[in-house]
Chains A and B, each alone.
Chain A
C-alpha cells in the first residue's frame, strides 16, 4: 500500500514538472526562461553548499571545482556516449526520441553527480582535517586544481573549451533536480542521524564525546554537497551548450558562498538568496556600465540588513 502511494507520488511529481515545462516554454519568453533556469541551478548549488558550510560548519570555497567535474563529465557523456545510446534506444529498442533523450540526460546527471561525489571524497578526506581559514584556503586551492586539470585535458577541449553540447536542460529537469536536492538534503538534516551535522558545527569535540564519528559525517556532508554541485554543473552545461574552465574559477565558488552566507543557516534562506542574487544583475541592467558597482552596493546593504536581523533574534 505504502509503496503504491510512493509510486503514484513520483508519477505525480514527474507529470507536474512535465506540464510545468510545457506550459512555461509555451508562454514564457526565452530570456525569462533562461533566468529561471539559472536561478534554479543556483538554488541547487546554494542548498548543497549549505549542507557543508552552514549545517556542518565546514567552510568550503571549492564548490565551483565540483560543479566543473559534473559539467564536464555529463557533457562528455552526452557528447560521446550519447549518440551511441541514442541509436541503440531508437533502433534496437524502438524508443521514441523523447524517451531516448530522457534516459541519456538522466544517466548524464547521475554520472555527473557520482563523479563529483568521488572528487569530493578524494578532496574531503585529507582537507577536512583542517579547520576554519585553513580549510577555506585548502578547498579553494583544490577547486582551482580541479579546474586547471580539466583545462589541460584535451579530450574535453582543453583551453579551446567544450563545444556543441546538446541542449537538454529544461524546466522539467530543473524542477526535478531542485526538488530532489531539496528533499535529500532537507530530510537528511532533519533526521536523527542528520543532527550529527549540526552537532559538529556547534562543537566538534563535544560531538565526538557523544559518539559521533565526526570524520565520517564531515566527509559525508562534503561528498553529498559535491554530488549536487555536480548535478548543478551538468544542468548548466546542457543549458549553455558550451563549457570553458573560466566559468569555474574560485569567483564562482565565492558567489555560491555569498548566497549561503546571505541566506543564513536555513535551506529556505539559501534558496531565496540564490534567487535574489541571480535576478539582481538582470534587474540592474538598467545601470549599464555601473551595474557591478550597484550590485556590490546592494550586496553590502543586504548583508548589513541580514546582520542586524541576526542580532535582534
Chain B
C-alpha cells in the first residue's frame, strides 16, 4: 500500500531523516515509535506532501494502481486516499464541530455518501454528535482528538497517518482512542501510527519500526519488538 525507500529529508543543514525505508501493507496497522525529535512528524509530513524530500521514493498503491507521491501536492495526495491526523490535533478552533467535519470531506462530491460518512463518524464518536454545533476550540483535549480523527475519516481515506494521537490525553481516553483505531482498522483501513506511547502502540499494531535520530534502527512484528530487550529498556521503561 505504502512503500518508502531510502528517504532523506532535511531542514536546511539539519538532516531530519537519513535514509528511512518503511512499508505499510494493505489492512495493516504499522506503528513507528521513537523519542522526541527522532523525525516521526517529519516522516508523516513528507508522506502527506507538506515537506519535499531531498531524495528517496514514496510509492502508494491503491487498486493495483501504483503512484509516486514524491512530487505531489498535499491536496492531490489526499485525493488519492491518504489522510493525516496531524500532531497536536489542529482542529479549526473557531469553527463548529459540524464545519470541521464538513471540511474533512472537502474533496468529496457525492453529498449522500458524505452524509453516510458523517453518520458513521457519529457512531464511532457519539460525543461529537452531542457537540455538533459547539466550536471545536471549546472541546476537551480528548474530544478534539476524536474530532481530528473523525475529520480525517470524512475524506474516506484508504491509508490513515496518525501523529501521536495519545499526546496529552488521560490514560482512559488513550485506551478509548486506541480501541477506535482498532475498530476502523478492522473495517479495512490501513494505518501508520506514530507514537511515543510505545507500550500501547506495540499492543495494537501488527508491525513496528523504531526510529532514532532519523534512522530506522529496528523493525519487525510488533509482538516481537515488545519483547526485545533494547526496546524494553529504551521505550517501555522496563
Contact = CB atoms under 8 A, between A and B. Distances in A.
Nearest to B84: A209
Contact of A209 (B83, B94, B95): B83
Interface in B69-109: 73-75, 78-79, 83-84, 86, 90-95, 99, 102-104, 106-107
A211 B94 contact: no
Contacts of A205: 50, 86, 90
B216 interface: no
Interface string A163-202: 0000000000000000000000000000010011011001
A203 interface: yes
Contacts of A202: 92-95
Chain A contact residues, majority secondary structure:
helix
A208 interface: yes
For chain B, the bracket of interface size reads: 20 to 34
Contacts of A84: none
A212 interface: yes
Contacts of B103: 195-196, 199, 207, 210, 212
Contacts of B50: 205, 208-209
B200 to A, nearest CB: 24
Contacts of B84: 209
Contacts of B107: 210-211
Contacts of A213: 73, 75
Contacts of A211: 74-75, 78-79, 106-107, 155
Contacts of A192: 102
A68 to B, nearest CB: 33
A53 B151 CA distance: 26
A186 to B, nearest CB: 17
A284 interface: no
Contact of A203 (B75, B83, B92, B152): B92
Nearest to B73: A213
Interface string B37-52: 0000000000010100
A192 B92 CA distance: 15
A206 B107 CA distance: 14
Nearest to A192: B102
* Residue of A192, A196, A199, A202 ringed by the most chain B CB atoms within 10 A: A202
Interface string A202-228: 110111111111000000000000000
B93 A209 contact: no
Contact of B155 (A203, A206, A210): A210
A196 B105 CA distance: 11
Interface string B196-218: 00000000000000000000000
A189 to B, nearest CB: 12
A65 B70 CA distance: 39
A217 to B, nearest CB: 10
Interface in A237-270: none
30 contacts: A195-B95, A195-B99, A195-B102, A195-B103, A195-B106, A196-B106, A198-B95, A198-B99, A199-B92, A199-B103, A199-B106, A202-B92, A202-B95, A205-B86, A206-B91, A207-B103, A208-B48, A208-B74, A209-B48, A209-B50, A209-B74, A209-B78, A209-B84, A210-B78, A210-B155, A211-B75, A211-B106, A212-B75, A212-B103, A213-B73
Given A198-B92, A202-B93, A209-B84, 13 more contacts: A195-B99, A195-B103, A196-B103, A198-B95, A208-B74, A209-B48, A210-B104, A210-B106, A210-B107, A210-B151, A211-B74, A211-B75, A212-B103
